[in-house]
Amino acid sequence: MDKEKYKRAKTRVEELKGFCFFGRLSKKGEEKEERK
């Protein structure tokens, strides 16, 4: 049971990391568009 909890928590962290990463990328893209 603990292993399942750990796995779920880990995937959740990976999802959040990916979300933040993509969010930053899209923000950078928007900034570049505004500069043009």
Q: Where are the domains of the chain?
A: 1-36
pLDDT above 70: residue 35: no
CA dist., res. 25 & res. 35, Å (int): 16
Sign of CA dihedral 18, 24, 26, 32: negative
Per-residue pLDDT tens digits for 15-25? 888 887 777 77
For the chain, the farthest-separated pair of C-alpha atoms sits apart, in whole angstroms, at: 53
Residue 36: what pLDDT? 59
pLDDT score, position 22: 76
Put simply, whether the predicted model's pTM sits higher than 0.85 gets the answer no
pLDDT at position 23 is 77
More confident residue, 11 or 28: 11
**Rounded to whole angstroms, how far apart are CA atoms 13 and 5?**
12
